[in-house]
Amino acid sequence: MAHLNISDVTLSFGGLKALSNVDMKIEPGLITSIIGPNGAGKTSMLNCISGFYHPTKGDIFYKEKKLTHASPHQVSNMGISRAFQNLELFSGLSVLDNLLLARHQNLKYSFLHAVWFHGKASRVEAENRAFVEGIIDFMELEPYRKSLVGNLSYGVQKKVEVARALTLAPDILLLDEPMAGMNQEEKEDIVRFVMDIQKEKGITVVLVEHDLGVVMDISDRIYVLDFGEVIGSGTPEEVSQNPKVIEAYIGED
Amino acid sequence: MSNNDHLLEYSIPQLLRWRVASSPKRPALREKDFGIWNTYTWEDYYDHVRKTALGLQQIGLKRGDTIAIISDNIPELLFTAIGAHAIGAISAGIYQTSMPAEIAQILQYLKVTAVFCDNQEQVDKVLDVRDQIPNVKKVIFEDPRGMREYMSDDWFIDIQDLYKLGEKEHAASPDLFESLVDQGKPDDPCHLCLTSGTTGLPKGTIMTHKNYINMGVKITEVDPLEPTDEYVSFLPFAWIGEQMNSFGIAMATGITINFPESVETAMSDLKEIGPHFMFGAPRIYETIRSEIWLKIDQSYWLNKLLYNYFIQVGLKAASYKMTGKSMPLGLRLKSWFGTQIIIRPLINQIGLMRLRRAYTGGAALGPELFTFYQAIGVNLKQIYGQTEITGIAYMHRDGDVRPETVGKPLPGTECKIADDGEILSKSASVSPGYFDLPEKTAEALEGGWLHSGDAGFIDEHGHLVVIDRLSDVMHNNKEEMFSPMFLENALKFSPYIKEAVIYGNKEEFVSCLINIDPVVVGKWAEDKGISFTTYMDLASKPEVAKLMMEQVLDVNSRAEKEHFKIKRFALLYKLLDMDDGELTKTGKIRRKFVQEKYQNLYDALYDETIDTKEVEASFQYQDGQSNIVKTSIAFYTVKGV
């Protein structure tokens, strides 16, 4: 049984079809990549899953639950979290505060507890901090814990973005071009983290990425989109031998 | 001053046991993990050493066997090392930056039977060369991250499982551990310390329990430490400088060792701990000073004004303090006032406020750096010694800090200058020799004296002055002697210069290659509105060359002899780097290698007709790829030399 079942999804803006009749199955515990040329509809697909857009036609199921029309926070509560291509962090807050804040929905204590910061409030906050520290350790962000996000390099900010998505303890992590704009060394770093997220934490990863080398190396399954349609899917070997995919990437001769 | 000579009767594990008996609940180690400082008391320390020791015995480590340690500084590293000492085995440290081939060579040479690694990075290196190291029976790792796929292979063992083996063994025979510890003798070898390898493959220096403890006891006879004092462990464990603290000083005095969260956080963790004493290579002190300068530079005008005034007062006061003379009242008042309103808050920002003494060693430090630190109230002192004499044998005394010397011998250390000018020493901390290298041992310990290989003399105050390595002293083509290291240091005293390589052996004049300091020069360029992209770009700016010319002229103006003056120089397009084999692990220049690598630049330096030259720079990235970049490099001639 697939974790995330996308069936026959179409997304149109007026007359423009961003996605048409897309079928995808995201299997648990694997790294599934969505690739394709610019404007192929990769980010639109992620937006549909995470509830920013709602498909014009078709359905998305997550463990039997329908999330076709769920709002972003409902999707996030179900255990699907997302790291954005363009960083969506509070640049005036420290790394630690960004991560703590991302978990606000896990903080459930009363106003009075909060005023005295006692009992449940302090316990929950301490647990929250311990959880976030675990993520900081995992993403190797210790040197930046107290630095303002706005002062950090782009590569580190990207790591913080992934860390923020991880603080929600998701079942599925959607990564939208985590390696865009990075140098070789930073890319290798992030690849290692993506693999660790899958292997050590057992999180299902959906990766949208341009760097074909990286995708071929680490993906278990690949879907190739072009003009909003799935033109190929399968293991990296299958996809790399698919004539349609080669055509979309290299062009006709 | 308490006499601690009775501690010399113990082995390191026995001394640990003695510490537990006298102060079981005091903190011995502290480690920052998940953002929190976790404390191990002396009792906890001993418990961990016991389970590690018995666990090591269970996996087959025997008396006389060697266990190598490749790890960042974490408490488990000490548990493993002292655990090994407790069962009569020998520990050996390997630098974390070592390449797999180098690790294989060292493991073979030291006949290592087990390896302790902190994480997957080090484990992978050992795994890489597994077929070359049949002697290694087990690899112990601390951080299980990324090790999932290795767990089916019983070559690897998680330290937690090692602990369990040890605990089980302790439950089965509760007296075993104590009887093992009792068998240790102070003169047994306990550690193999690799010498830095300025020349060829590193040698494994055999260190005994007594070597370390004697060093710890003697240094604290001069500079006493309280058991409540804090120390931050950030030097590489494979270097004698870290071992003498964790095996020697900490055991002899009962201070607390603090382990930073990671290598990158060491400086901010230092600030949180506020250590009472620290030890480091000159680079650390240069970095801290640059940091202070940057902080002041970025501060607002009042701070700058106060700093600029009171640093001058401090410098004046420092000259009195360093020579132990009494200060005039006016200066004393001004200095006290400046300390209160600007200097103390400033050094508190860096984490040096509680620091009573700071030591520098391994290479020379600029005289004005000494005065600078003394001026901001940090009692920075020079130490001198070799790995073979447990790191420290000579040290400045409080109130008698002469920047050009390395101080006086520690109590119990004898010093002699050989006929050829070589420094010879003798003390209870001198190593019995090198592992498996009887010829080298005989050479180094000829006549019962430790031969340092350094040229030096004793000045009129009884201080030792080190000139240079005996083998590194150069002669120009008129057979006039000069020390390249001395000139390089004179250049490096400029904040704008990170590294310099002096040439001139058998040549008509002295010339050099300069590495600009990217941080300080980068800031300088920013302030001047000079735009730049990479290091290579910055180093090729004519404005930067002009700045460097001023630095060289300044050094030339202070040259004691005419033939010390630098005539030609060029700015190197890349920083000298350990990964490229240009620097040793402790940051010294591999002179011969650098000369061969940059032979084309050397030739151009000695061809005065050349102003610029096209060169191909090859860069090696961490993933093994290399890239060739074409650049042009300019050569400058200093007028009037």
Is the pLDDT confidence value at B13 over 70?
yes
**Bridge partners, residue B67, by sequence:** B91, B114
**Interchain CB distance below 8 Å, A184 and B621:** yes
Q: Which helix (H) or strand (E) holds B93?
A: strand B90-93
Q: Which of A142, A188, A199 sits opposite B261 (nearest CB)?
A: A142
Q: Which helix (H) or strand (E) holds B91?
A: strand B90-93
- pLDDT digits over B443-488, tens only? 889 888 999 888 888 888 889 988 777 877 787 888 777 888 888 8
Is there a contact between B261 and A130 if contact means CB atoms under 8 Å apart?
Answer: no
Strand intervals (E) in B307-376: 357-360
A-B Cβ pairs (cutoff 8 Å, strict): 36
Percentage of residues in chain B with pLDDT exceeding 90?
50
Single pTM value for the model: 0.79
Nearest-neighbour CA in chain A from B518: distance (Å)? 17
Cβ-proximal residues to B479 (8 Å cutoff; 6+ apart), any chain:
none
Cβ–Cβ gap B264/A142 under 8 Å: yes
Residue type at B509? F
Residue B440 burial (CB count, 10 A): 15
What type of residue sits at position A59? D
Dig out the tokens for A13 from the structure: 């803006």
Residue B466 is given by DSSP the state E
Residue B150: pLDDT over 80: yes
Distances from the Cα of B398 to the Cα of B215, B231, B407, angstroms: 18, 19, 10
Selected residues 115-154 of chain A with any CB under 8 Å from a CB in chain B: 129-130, 133-134, 136-137, 140, 142-143, 145-146
d(CA B311, CA B308): 5
B485: closest CA of chain A, how far (Å)? 35
Whole-number Å distance between alpha carbons of A98 and B414: 59
How far apart CA A15 and CA B309 sit, in angstroms, is 72
Confidence (pLDDT) at B87:
95
Mean pLDDT of B525-537: 90
Position B544 pLDDT exceeds 50: yes
Alpha helices by DSSP H, listed for B223-324, are 240-243, 250-253, 266-273, 282-298, 301-323
Angle at B442 between CA B440 and CA B447, to 5 degrees: 140
Of B41, B60, B43, which is closest to residue B169 (Cα–Cα)? Answer: B60
* B264 interface with A at CB cutoff 8 Å: yes
pLDDT tens, position by position, A108-121: 777 777 787 777 78
d(CA A159, CA A109): 30
Token pair recorded at residue B36: 């929190």
State residue B208's pLDDT score. 95
Chain A touched by B622 (CB under 8 Å)? yes
What whole-number distance in Å separates Cα of residue B597 and Cα of residue B590? 11
A65 closest CA partner among A1, A4, A9: A4
What residues contact residue B146 under an 8 Å CB cut-off, 6+ apart? A196, A199, A200, B119, B120
B478 vs A: CB within 8 A: no
Inter-chain residue contact B261 with A200, CB threshold 8 Å: no
B336/B343 Cα distance (integer angstroms)? 10
Within 8 A of B35 by CB-CB distance, chain A residues are: 129, 133, 136, 142, 145
* Nearest by CB: B623 against A133, A146, A184: A184
pLDDT digit string, tens, across residues B498-521: 999 999 888 889 999 999 999 899
Residue range B339-351: mean pLDDT, rounded: 89
B398-406 average pLDDT score: 84
Mutate which of B31, B32, B33, B34 to test chain A, going by most A C-beta atoms within 10 A?
B34
Higher per-residue confidence, A14 vs B75: B75
- CB-nearest to B262 from A142, A185, A188 is A142
Residues A142, B265: C-beta atoms closer than 8 Å: yes
- What single-letter DSSP state applies at residue B260? -
Using alpha carbons only, give the angle A111, A114, A116 rounded to the nearest 5 degrees.
Answer: 115
| Model pLDDT for residues B288-307, shown as the tens digit of each residue | 898 888 888 888 999 999 99
Structure tokens at B249: 């000083």
Better-scored residue on pLDDT, A118 or B14 = B14
Mean per-residue pLDDT for B33-46? 93
Confidence of residue B2 (pLDDT cuts 50, 70, 90): low
A200 vs B34, B145, B268: nearest CB: B145
pLDDT for the residue A252: 54
User: Which is nearest to B322 in space by CA: B264, B257, B286, B375?
Assistant: B375
Yes or no, beta carbons of B623 and A130 under 8 Å apart: no
How far apart are alpha carbons B494 and B453 in whole angstroms?
Answer: 28
Separation in Å, CA of B144 to nearest CA in chain A: 10
CA B588 – CA B499 distance, rounded (Å): 10
Cβ neighbors of B609 (< 8 A, separation 6 or more) are none
For B247-276, the pLDDT digits (tens) are 999 999 999 999 999 888 888 899 899 999
Q: Which residue has the tokens 């040096």?
A: B352
Q: What are phi and psi of B627, to 5 degrees?
A: -140, 140
Nearest to A133 among B34, B146, B262 (CB): B34
Give chain B's length.
641
Q: B1 pLDDT band (50/70/90 cuts)?
A: very low
- Among chain A residues, CA nearest to B625: A184
Give the closest-approach CA distance of A142 to chain B in angstroms.
Answer: 7
Whether A22 and A210 have beta carbons less than 8 Å apart is answered as no
- The answer to whether the CB atoms of B264 and A134 lie below 8 A apart is no
Judged by CB atoms closer than 8 Å, whether chains meet at B265 and A137 is answered as no
Average pLDDT over residues B337-356: 90
In contact, B420 and B470? CB cutoff 8 Å: yes
Q: Do A142 and B36 touch (CB under 8 A)?
A: no
Considering Cα of B599, then B605, then B610, then B611, what sign does the dihedral take?
A: positive
B35–A contact, CB cutoff 8 A: yes
| Residue B623: closest C-alpha in chain A | A185
Sign, CA torsion B138/B139/B141/B146 = negative
pLDDT at position B197 is 57
Q: Is the pLDDT of residue B607 over 50?
A: yes
Assess B97–A contact: CB distance below 8 Å, yes or no.
no
What pLDDT, on the 0 to 100 scale, is given for residue A179?
A: 85
> CB A196 to CB B264 under 8 A?
no
Q: Are B98 and B71 in contact (CB under 8 A)?
A: no
Q: Which of residues 144 through 163 in chain B touch A, CB cutoff 8 A?
A: 145-146, 148
How many residues does this entry show for chain A?
253
C-beta atoms of A185 and B622 within 8 A: yes
Which chain A residues are Cβ-neighbours of B265 within 8 angstroms?
142-143
Per-residue tens of pLDDT for chain A, all 253 residues? 568 889 889 998 888 888 988 999 998 989 999 988 888 888 899 999 988 889 988 889 888 888 888 888 888 888 888 887 777 789 899 999 999 988 887 777 777 777 877 777 888 888 889 999 999 999 999 999 999 999 998 889 999 999 999 998 899 999 988 888 888 888 888 898 999 899 888 899 999 988 888 888 899 999 998 888 888 899 999 888 888 888 877 665 5
Confidence label for B169 from pLDDT (cuts 50, 70 and 90): very high
Whether the CB of B34 is below 8 Å from some CB of chain A: the reply is yes
Rounded to whole angstroms, how far apart are CA atoms A199 and B147? 10
Compare all CA atoms of chain A with the CA of B34 and give the residue at the minimum distance. A133
For tokens 């390449």, the residue is B99
Indicate the SS3 state at residue A253: coil
CA distance A107 to A120: 10
Range B232-252 average pLDDT: 91
Chain B neighbors of A133, CB-CB under 8 A: 34-36
Sign of the alpha-carbon dihedral angle for A13, A19, A22, A25: negative
Name the β-bridge partners of B482: B474
Residue type, A244: K
Interface predicted TM-score of the whole assembly (ipTM), two decimals:
0.77
Amino acid letter for position B163: Y
Q: A29 and chain B: CB distance < 8 Å anywhere? A: no
More confident call, B362 vs B545: B545
Residue A5, helix vs strand vs coil: strand
Mutate which: A100, A125, A131, A142, vs B, most B CBs within 10 A: A142
What's the confidence (pLDDT) of residue B117?
Answer: 95
